[in-house]
Structure 1
Amino acid sequence: MKTLDSRQDIEELVNSFYEKVVEDETIGFFFNDIVKVDWEKHLPKMYSFWETILFGQMSYKGNPMGAHFPINEIEALEKKHFERWLELWKQTIEENFTGKNAELALYKAQNIAQLMAFKMDLARKL
């Protein structure tokens, strides 16, 4: 098992993760049917997002929360969806990486999932 230390490692992690996501019965439909994700555009954004989060490279320019509100209006993004997202992320990390940055990637994802679930629920109630 290797450590998570480079942009190339992030690309491997993100690619492996989304391979699981698109096949997943709980959350895959968001990506495949609702958003119809353009993977050539989405994946580089995710590489930059995690590079910024983990390595402080500041390569990501965007608003992750803002990107999810329109999806939430079409189909509710519920706590169970974020829990499944996190479960797949954790599984992917544990299958491929070890060390401090792998632990940090999991910790950051837990915080992201919790905050996103809270904000999406709040937006539906307003």
Structure 2
Amino acid sequence: MKKDIAGRPDIELLVNTFYEKIAADQQLGYIFNDVAKVNWQRHLPVMYDFWENIILFTGSYQGNPMNLHQHLHHIAPLDASHFEQWNKLFIATVNELFKGKNAELAKQKALSISAIIKEKISFSRRDNERSY
């Protein structure tokens, strides 16, 4: 029987499992591995803090994910299909590992954050196109 996300070890399991899927994904893996050249030893602890704060309200994350995604978007344009695949993998990972109130919160927050980043990137691109 699956349990709910209850602490840092659960967050680490979720993040590690999710990013293993991302790194191996045909659509998204190249963005992380080849374009961004993610240093996983540094990135994963930041993601633990981010998701621990989002799900368990720990205040452990300090950063601005929007700036990073906008920068990445200028290097390798992200489109709706990238966000859809990210959402699909995240939701599948949560469903595979957990069940409960915090698991549902994680999925809701992931979809919300993804939508906000996608929208801001979209507006950023339109603003840049108008300035030429």
- Normalising TM by the smaller chain, what interval? over 0.9
Structure 1 CA distance, aligned partners of 2:117 and 2:61?
18
Shift of 1:60: 0.3
Deviation digits for residues 69-106 of structure 1 (CA, Å, limit 9, x no counterpart): 11100111111111110100000001100000000000
1:36 matched residue in structure 2: 37
For this pair of structures, how many residues does the alignment match?
A: 126
**C-alpha distance in 2 between matches for 1:63 and 1:54:** 17
Which of structures 1 and 2 has the bigger CA Rg?
2
Native 8 Å contact 1:4 1:101 kept in 2: yes
Question: For residue 85 of structure 1, what is the aligned residue in structure 2?
Answer: 86
Q: What's 2:5 paired with?
A: 4
Q: Which runs of 5+ in 1 are unaligned?
A: none
Percent identical? 46
Gaps of at least 5 residues in structure 2 are 128-132
Q: Distance in 1 between matches of 2:55 and 2:116?
A: 18
Match of 2:114 in 1: 113
Stretches of 4+ aligned residues off by more than 2 angstroms: none
2: distance between equivalents of 1:123 and 1:36? 23
Structure 1 partner of 2:24: 23
Match in the other structure for 1:124: 125
CA contact (8 A) 1:54 1:105 kept: yes
**Deviation readout 1:5-55 (Å, 9 max, x if unpaired):** 101100000000000001111111110110000001100000000111111
Using the alignment, how far apart are the partners of 1:79 and 1:45 within structure 2?
25
Contact kept in structure 2, 1:78 and 1:120, CA below 8 Å: no
Shift of 1:4: 0.6
Separation in 1 of the partners of 2:46 and 2:104? Answer: 21
Normalising by structure 1, we get a TM-score of: 0.97
Instruction: Describe the SS at the equivalent of 1:60.
Output: coil
Shift of 1:123: 1.1
Equivalent position amino acid for 1:45 in 2: V
- Measure the CA separation in 2 of the matches of 1:117 and 1:61: 21
